Amino acid sequence: MSSTAGLVIPCKAAVAWEAGKPLVIQQVEVAPPQAMEVRIKIKYTSLCHTDLYFWEAKGQTPLFPRIFGHEAAGIVESLGEGVKGLEVGDHVLPVFTGECGECAHCKSEESNMCDLLRINTERGVMLSDGKSRFSINGSPINHFVGTSTFSEYTVVHSGCLAKINPLAPLDKVCVLSCGISTGLGATLNVAKPQKGSLVAIFGLGAVGLAAAEGARIAGASRIIGVDFNPGRFEQAKKFGITEFVNPMDYDRPVQEVIAEMTNGGVDRSVECTGSINAMISAFECVHDGWGVAVLVGVPSKEAMFVTKPINLLNERTLKGTFFGNYKPRTDLPSVVDMYMNKKLELDKFITHRVPFSEINKAFELMVKGEGLRCIISMED
């Protein structure tokens, strides 16, 4: 047992009090973990666009005050009752979705959409008792997607923690707990391109470049990047992108351009923007007979996808994916091992680093669209 087990831990956290306003670093109290929960010491966290989206509170019900953050790596400090498979001192990745191991989804080899621990952006409390583990002077502070990693200590359901190789550098592998794994898995687990395949990636942000990294690892012969920002092409080459297409350069649908470039269409496409037009283009640019398109980006709830049924009848396949079809506890350790074995390159995703005291700089960088991932060191 750790010396702090069972005690309330005072620590620093970056608290969001209002939508779009700078986070405030202040002391919070973090309660001990309850049944099936784990308290962890966050070592490194990074900023994902999902944090930015809910911090801006555009298009969803705002929930403040709140501690954001969900891409991180840490060390187990103490365990709640009933937790199995984890010990104090274990190195872990907290994940916004989970794996209870008991529901039909967890027992299925095809699904990673756990009934109990699936992402819930509107819940600001823990599952076991409907209460927050964070407080300031007795007043509760809301959690975010069950992780809240913008805090030196946080409490997470044990099913949302992946135990990883203790030799893995936490300041690198922390990016695997959300966006990078999402794009990587969309390609490797869902699109499954064969060696020599032609692949198109729509959207060259961090998730799209992770999808391109997956195509590179799979041995694709051509990886076509599609984006409105030509400034992204040079950086995208590091991730295996061989050609760049800007839809704005053409007066016809980009799927027609890609079909012409590839003698009928690509073998696989991965869409990482959330744009309905990009989704339609990603589907319609794959080759008939065997082409597979995978949708990763999240559109608005009211958005409608429209295509001609003949596109399906001509044996094109359309798939969606959630977190790259990775089961967090079962699969993420092997993704970390891919990095440790030098099969997966993570360093090129990390473009900025800031100390925790300057966390608002990470938000400024993302708002400006600068860089891919900014690592926030909790101890600097």
Residues annotated as catalytic (active site), given as ranges: 48-50, 70-71, 100, 103, 106, 114, 118, 178, 373
Is the bond preceding residue 166 a cis peptide, omega within 30 degrees? no
Q: Tell me whether strands 292-295 and 317-320 are parallel, antiparallel or unpaired.
A: parallel
Question: CB-side exposure of 341: number of CA atoms within 13 Å?
Answer: 8
Task: List helix spans (H) across 186-290.
Answer: 206-218, 233-236, 254-261, 276-284
CA distance 220 to 201: 12
Torsion (CA) 160, 165, 170, 174 in degrees, nearest 10: -40
Name, in order, each residue with C-beta under 8 angstroms of 333's C-beta and a sequence gap of 6 or more.
Answer: 162, 163, 164, 165
CA distance 364 to 167: 32
Beta partners for residue 319, in sequence order = 294
Torsion (CA) 110, 115, 120, 123 in degrees, nearest 10: -170
